[in-house]
Amino acid sequence: MDIDKNIDTVVDYLLNTDNVSVLTGAGISAESGISTFRDPDGLWSKFNPQELASIDGFMSNPELVWSWYQYRVNIVNNSIPNPGHYALAEFQNLIKNFSLITQNVDGLHQRAGSKNVVELHGSIVRNKCFDCNKIHTSKIVEHNKISNCIYCNGKIRPDVVWFGEILPRHEIELAQIYAENSKVYFSVGTSAEVYPAADLPLIAKRNGAKLIEINPNDTQLTSFVDVKINLNSGIALPLILEKYKEKKGI
């Protein structure tokens, strides 16, 4: 099937339902200049995940972990959403039950206008206390010195899910409910290697959803999908949106 035909098929799915969910991963932000993790030039080819994104790593060297997150926060602050993020934000206004679930921690979906984004892995835009869990929004690192929690003096850490940690309960439960109830499910820009997020598209498929993957590369999900679109999401999603609006006459 060629790309135009695949896009037509996806648009037909969308025209026939009010229940759509989208799971996004690092790939959707690649065109905003934010590196993915597992691609050949991704961040994990240059850095050691166990040192930078784990409780043990943080406990043994909080300064190193903080400087890595400061580095990534700076990149995110200097990035802007791309047409893929904007297309998803617009879809939310056009489809009655449209949920957006992301593994990303960069906040770009919200900056593009998406509402009620389910953040499975937290956000680097927020920090929290390691001990009492309170969210801290004030500046944490001043002149390379990390401040402590004002409530309990605990260490402050980024509000992200590290290796070995469990996902926030409310978010994963919500994501599972969306997966079970969607009629059309998109997996966009994710390598589908990080669990439990990687299970969500398969839960949707088992419950009867049409499954679509948007990714220029194949993943372990590819053999299960109904439609594969081999394009960057910043190209594919606006194409789908335009065709959808055209066919709806809006």
**Binding track, positions 112-151, relative to ligand NAD; x by CB under 6 A:** ---------x------------------------------
Contact residues for 124 (Cβ-Cβ < 8 A; gap 6+): 69, 72, 73, 76, 105, 106, 107, 158, 159, 160
| Residue from 21, 92, 103, 187 in contact with ligand NAD (CB under 6 A) | 103
The residue nearest ligand NAD at its CB is 27
Stretch that binds Zn ion, among 12-20, 98-106, 132-140, 181-189 (CB under 5 A): 132-140
The Cα–Cα gap between 37 and 84 comes to 19
**Does residue number 187 form part of the binding site for ligand NAD (CB under 6 A)?**
no
The Cα–Cα gap between 97 and 51 comes to 40
Q: Taking the complex as a whole, how short is the minimal distance between the CB of residue 250 and ligand NAD, in angstroms?
A: 26
Q: Distances from the Cα of 159 to the Cαs of 44, 129, 144, 209, 211, in angstroms? A: 20, 9, 19, 32, 31
**Does residue number 104 form part of the binding site for ligand NAD (CB under 6 A)?**
yes
The Cα–Cα gap between 38 and 211 comes to 23
Active site residue 121: yes
Catalytic residue among 85, 121, 143, 170: 121
The DSSP call for residue 217 is S
Q: Which does 45 bind (CB under 5 to 8 A by kind): Zn ion, ligand NAD, none?
A: none
Q: Are 99 and 116 in contact (CB under 8 A)?
A: yes
Which residues bind to ligand NAD, rule: CB under 6 A? 25-27, 29-31, 34, 36-39, 42, 103-106, 121, 189-191, 193-194, 214-217, 219, 232-234
Catalytic residues: 121
